[in-house]
Amino acid sequence: MPKLWFCEPVSGSFARPCKRQESTEPVSKFPSLCLELRFSFHHTVAMKKEKGFTLIEMLVAVALIVTLSATGLYSWRRWQQQQQLWQTARQVRDFLVVLRNDAWRYNRDHVVALKQTGQQWCLLETDIPVCQGNNAFVLAPLWPDISITELTPALGFYGLRDTAWAGRIRLKSQAGEWLIIVSAWGRIRMCNGKGGFACQ
C-alpha cells in the first residue's frame, strides 16, 4: 500500500503538520496531494536550474580576472622601474656630494669619469683605474637597465670651496629620466624629466 501525506488545503497552501497514513485509493483521487506533488516537482526543478554558472559566465569572469591582473602587474612593474631610477639618481647625487666634500675639505681635485663595458657602467674619480666596489669614490649601479646618456666632460670639483666645474649627468630608463645638475658654486640638484624637469 502506498503511504501518503494528507494535508488540508488552507488559502491555497497546505496546513502542517500532515499525517502519514496508508491508503488503498489511487493517488489521482487526492487532488490536493497531486497539487502538492506538482508544486514540489516544479520547485525542485527551478532550484536546480538556479544553481551553478553557465560557460559564458565563467569565461567572462576569467577574462575580467586576467585583465585586472595584467593591468595590476603592469602598474606594479612601472612603479618599480620609477623607484629604481629615482634611487639610482639619489646614489649619483650622494656620490657627487662625497667628491665635493672631500675636495673642499682637503683641497683636492676630483673629476668624474664614466667607465662602461657593454651594459655595465660605473662612475669614478679619474685617478682610479678600475671600478672597485669597496671604494667611496666609485659608484656602480644596482640595476643594469638604467643607463647614463649624458655626462659633461671635466665635471668635478677642484679643491676651492664653493667652486665646481658646472655640468650634469643624465640617467635614463624605461620609466623616464633624471638629471643630476652641478652648478658653478658646487650646488647639486636632482631634476625629474617628467613635467619640464622639476628639480629638488
Positive or negative torsion for Cα 164, 168, 169, 171: positive
pTM for the complete prediction? 0.66
User: Check: CATH 3.20.20.70 for 85-199?
Assistant: no
Identify the burial level of 74 via C-beta atoms within 10 angstroms of its C-beta, where 0-12 means exposed, 13-18 middle and 19 or more buried. Answer: exposed
Which pLDDT score is estimated for 134? 83
Q: Where in the chain is the domain with CATH 3.55.40.10?
A: 85-199
Q: What is the pLDDT of residue 149?
A: 93
User: Which pLDDT score, from 0 to 100, does residue 197 have?
Assistant: 60
Asked if 120 contacts 144 with a C-beta cutoff of 8 angstroms, the reply is yes
Mean pLDDT, consecutive 10-residue segments, the chain of 200 residues?
49 48 53 46 51 84 90 88 93 95 92 89 90 86 91 91 92 92 94 70
Q: What pLDDT does residue 44 have?
A: 53
pLDDT of the residue at 37: 43
Q: Bridge-partner residues for 114, per DSSP?
A: 123
Q: Residue 189 in contact with residue 181, Cβ under 8 Å? A: yes
